[in-house]
């Protein structure tokens, strides 16, 4: 016999998994599609940063001297792109320009994210794109390989 058969519980939600609850708590499932993707990207980068910091600590046998802690934190922070805000601003400006060319009136900037879907974000942390040092060595197009 189920004790909570006739009682509506505000905590138990049918069909809601623990992952959904955690995602809702962290704010990964709210906002525009771009905001949701960026939230997931940030969570992934944070996870990678924590793993890198743990690897550094593990390599030093979890000896927590000041140098080891600073090195672990620096290694973790190097995973987070510094120019992500600039890249997003430029991407949004390019999308806005394209919509203006098509004579679309945008009252809310969030509608830009929904209407003009972003498929790829290219970030340049090292300067290889802006300095012209990046070279394409191969391309893969639907089953074809050019190298």
Give pLDDT tens digits for 21-33: 676 776 666 677 7
pLDDT band of residue 2 (cuts 50, 70, 90) is very low
- The model's confidence at residue 77, banded by pLDDT at 50, 70 and 90, is confident
Q: Which pLDDT value is given to residue 90?
A: 81
pLDDT in tens, 31-70: 777 777 777 887 888 888 888 888 888 888 888 888 888 8
Q: What is the pTM of this model?
A: 0.49
User: Residue 139 has what DSSP assignment?
Assistant: E
pLDDT of residue 35: 72
pLDDT of the residue at 38: 77
pLDDT of residue 140: 73
Q: Give the long-range contacts of residues 86-89, CB within 8 A, separation 24 or more.
A: 87/121, 87/122, 87/123, 87/124, 88/38, 88/121
Q: How large a percentage of the chain has pLDDT more than 90?
A: 0
CB 38 within 8 A of CB 28: no
| Catalytic residue list | 124
122: confidence class by pLDDT, cuts 50, 70, 90: low
Q: Is there a contact between 72 and 56 (Cβ–Cβ < 8 Å)?
A: yes
């Amino acid at each position: 016999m189920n004790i909570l058969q006739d009682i509506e519980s505000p905590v138990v939600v049918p069909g809601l998994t623990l992952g959904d609850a955690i995602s809702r708590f962290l704010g990964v499932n709210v906002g525009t599609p771009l905001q949701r993707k960026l939230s997931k990207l940030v969570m992934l980068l944070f996870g990678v940063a924590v793993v890198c910091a743990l690897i550094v600590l593990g390599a030093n046998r979890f000896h927590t001297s000041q140098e080891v802690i600073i090195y672990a934190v620096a290694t973790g922070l190097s995973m987070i792109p510094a120019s992500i805000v600039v890249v997003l601003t430029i991407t949004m400006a390019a999308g806005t320009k394209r919509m203006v060319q098509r004579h679309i009136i945008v009252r809310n900037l969030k509608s830009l994210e929904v209407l003009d879907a972003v498929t790829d974000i290219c970030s340049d942390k090292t300067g290889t794109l802006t300095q012209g040092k990046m070279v394409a060595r191969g391309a893969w197009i639907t089953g074809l390989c050019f190298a």
